[in-house]
Amino acid sequence: MDDPAELDLWSRARANDGEAFGRLFDLHRDRVYRRALRLLEDQHDAEDVTAGAFFELWRKRRSVRLVAGSVLPWLLVTTVNLSRNLRRSTSRYQRLLRATTRSEAIAGPDAEPIETHDRLVASLGQLAPVDAALLALTALEGLPIAQAAEAVGVKPATARVRLHRARQRLRIDLHDLNPSSRPAEGMN
């Protein structure tokens, strides 16, 4: 699964070759941007997170661990973490704005889907960063558990347990969004 061309680019980038790093950026930019856009649903925020992920890759290039010979899993984990941080800071800012304004928001025709999305985002935000990254890498990016585990620095068996618990928690938190789904007994 190792790509010799990417390994060569990475080796050169680690030795401060900006052109090689630029080619790595071109190679993975679209995938990182799509992940950020799915998480944030805002083009400008996704662009900022994409830039931030590549900035962190450059800044930490001497300590980044490759997974299956690629920097992509590391970039995707970083994208998930930066997106979570941005969502949290945006949420705090919005709470501050709501607390300082006297006018009440008018619910539009799409109020229910927004509430559902907000609940999903809130539930995901309650997961540990490693669990959220594992969930994003496996469920959203389609990486095998072994590669996702390596990307976040845990053993595959640990990743399986963490994913099971994360999915269980999401099922409990969001059970009412799917009427056929019920929380497990004693899990409330």
pLDDT tens digits for range 1-56: 578 889 999 999 999 999 999 999 999 999 999 999 999 989 999 999 999 999 99
- Fold classification of 111-188 (topology level): Arc Repressor Mutant, subunit A (1.10.10)
Please write the tens of the pLDDT for every residue from 102-131: 434 444 454 455 566 677 777 778 888 889
70, β-bridge pairs: 67
pLDDT classification of 184: cutoffs 50, 70, 90? low
Task: Give the pLDDT confidence score for residue 93 in this predicted structure.
Answer: 67
HEC string of 51-79 equals HHHHHHHHHCCCCCCCECCECHHHHHHHH
Residues with Cβ within 8 Å of residue 32, at least 6 apart in sequence = 50, 53, 54, 72, 75, 76, 79
Give me the architecture of the 1-105 domain, per CATH. Answer: Orthogonal Bundle (1.10)
What's the chain's average pLDDT? 83
Task: Give the pLDDT confidence score for residue 170 in this predicted structure.
Answer: 84
Q: Give yes or no for a contact between 36 and 49, defined as CB atoms under 8 angstroms apart.
A: yes
**CA–CA gap between residue 96 and residue 180 (Å, rounded):** 37
Q: Looking at residue 104, what DSSP letter applies?
A: P
Q: Give yes or no for a contact between 152 and 133, defined as CB atoms under 8 angstroms apart.
A: yes
Claim: this prediction has a pTM higher than 0.85: no
Q: Which is more confidently placed, 59 or 186?
A: 59
Sequence ranges of the chain with CATH classification 1.10.1740.10 = 1-105
Task: Give the pLDDT confidence score for residue 99 in this predicted structure.
Answer: 64
Q: Give yes or no for a contact between 137 and 148, defined as CB atoms under 8 angstroms apart.
A: yes
Instruction: Give the angle 180-87-175 at the CA atoms, nearest 5°.
Output: 10
Sequence ranges of the chain with CATH classification 1.10.10.10 = 111-188
* % of the chain with per-residue pLDDT over 90: 47
Q: Which is more confidently placed, 21 or 171?
A: 21
